[in-house]
Amino acid sequence: MIANAGFGYLAKIHEMPEQVFDDIFNTNVKGTWYAMQEAAVPMLRQHAGHIIAVSSAAARRGLPLYGVYSMTKAAQLSLVEAMRVELDSTGVYVSSVHPVSTATEFFETASNLSRTRSVGLGRSQTAEVVARKIVRLIAHPKPELWPHSLSRIGLSFATLCPRFTDMAMRKILPKRQPANLP
Question: 93 an active-site residue?
Answer: no
HSE of 139, CA atoms in CB hemisphere, 13 A: 6
Separation between Cα atoms, residue 135 and residue 140, nearest integer Å: 9
For the beta sheet containing 2-3, the strands, ordered from the edge strand earlier in sequence to the opposite edge, are 2-3, 49-54, 92-97, 144-145
Backbone Cα Rg of the chain: 17
Residues forming a β-bridge with 96: 53, 144
Angle value at C-alpha 90, between 87 and 94, nearest 5 degrees: 45
Helix, strand, coil percent values for the chain (each to nearest 5): 55, 10, 30
Catalytic option among 9, 34, 66, 69: 69
Q: Which residues are catalytic?
A: 69
